[in-house]
Amino acid sequence: ADYFCTCDDRLLRRAKTVSNLNIVVVTPLELVEELNIMIAETKPLAEITHEAIRILFREMGVVNTVRFINQYTAGYGNYTEERRELFAEQTLEDLVSKIKQRRERSIKSEPNAE
């Protein structure tokens, strides 16, 4: 329902006598009470999440749903520290050389490569 909020007592009384109004005429206090009821009826986040996953499964299938959800899940560990340890013994030149080698292998393995 659409609401019209007013403090005008005369308008409030008149609105109660009209049966075919397409809006609800209320005082500010009545509007706040109505909004509090609407807020209280809001679903818990866990229920919303469960419903969303169920819809995704139905519409996209299990595999695509899992792929979609995985983009929003937090990883674990310390990415920066792991990279420092992983590449500790390598120079920038070493890394650039490896990148170039991979690119060359990738180009050679393409179907249209000559």
Parse the chain into domains and list their residue ranges: 2-40, 45-73+82-109
The stretch 20-42 carries a mean pLDDT of 81
CA-CA distance, 77 to 83, in Å (whole number)? Answer: 11
42-74, pLDDT tens digit by residue? Answer: 788 898 899 999 999 999 999 999 999 888 877
The stretch 34-43 carries a mean pLDDT of 74
CA-CA distance, 66 to 76, in Å (whole number)? Answer: 18
The model's pTM is 0.35
If you search the block for the tokens 């420092």, which residue do you land on? 84
- The mean predicted confidence, pLDDT, of the chain is 85
Q: What is the pLDDT of residue 52?
A: 92
